[in-house]
Amino acid sequence: MRKTIVQLYEIQDPREAERLVEMGVDHIGSVLLSLEGWKVPAIRDVCRLVGSSPAKSSLIPLFTGADDILRALDYYQPALVHFCELIPLAASDQARREACLADLVRTQERVKREFPPVGIVRSIPVPAAAPADPAPAREAILQIVRSLGPHSDFFMTDTLRGSVEGGDTQPVEGYVGITGETCDWELAAALIEASPIPLILAGGIGPENAFEAVSRLRPAGIDSCTRTNARDPLGRPVRFRKDLERVRRLLDEVERAEEGLRAAR
């Protein structure tokens, strides 16, 4: 039985990255917040530190120009680049979705051509709650799989906040993720079954539900951001700082789920 990948995001500090490597986290991800501030020496240090370990560094660029993305890859040299543009799912957005997918395929083909060692992680939006009729959303998700599967190394679910027809209610406009909300696991299960490449389950994953997520859906990996972040005095997540005790509990819950799956074989 393969080991479940544990992926954490918003790691911008090399000292924190070093602790996560020591704890056994598999993918350690950093975020480039804007094109204007794309050069962050501390994040380059994270990528270098993780690159010299058994873990893999991952980089999310929150900008879309292919030339700018390639320039960032050359500077940071991550093991993985993670794309999380918001792809429309509504049936009425078929034409816009097809145009979006064509643009994403072109970018990912260029990354593969110019940086062949870099793996590509592609986020796929999954609603927080399935629509009354989930069939159109499921078909849109499967269209994304068919289009981007040949040009990606991992898929990752992430939670689409609001309605399928929405898109303007995401925490970062134009992107999917960091909601801290769980996606619909029935749609996620259909995606896992259909995916031709390993799929990482994200969207509201933390120590409280990691055991159920791994046991029930058996994804290739799980991803946690908001629910392993530190908390302020009011209990709100603090961006870009991990609660190492919550990370330890997450790892323990994943291991417990794997032990249960092995015992059930």
The token pair that represents 151 in the structure block: 């040009």
User: 135-139, 157-161, 198-202 — which one is most confidently predicted on average?
Assistant: 198-202
What is the enclosing helix (H) or strand (E) of 44? helix 41-51
163-168, Cβ contacts within 8 angstroms, sequence gap of 24 or more: 163/127, 163/131, 164/89, 164/90, 164/127, 164/131, 164/136, 164/137, 165/90, 165/92, 167/86, 167/88
Question: Rounded CA gap, 42 and 260, in Å?
Answer: 39
Full set of structural domains in the chain with CATH: 5-264 (3.20.20.70)
Rounded mean pLDDT, 177-189: 88
Report pLDDT digits (tens) over 188-205. 999 999 999 999 999 999
Report pLDDT digits (tens) over 70-119. 999 999 999 999 999 999 999 899 999 999 999 999 999 999 999 999 99
pLDDT beyond 90 at 8: yes
Q: b vs e for 129-157, b when ≥16 Cβ sit within 10 Å of the residue's Cβ?
A: ebbeebebbbebbebbbebbeebbbbbbb
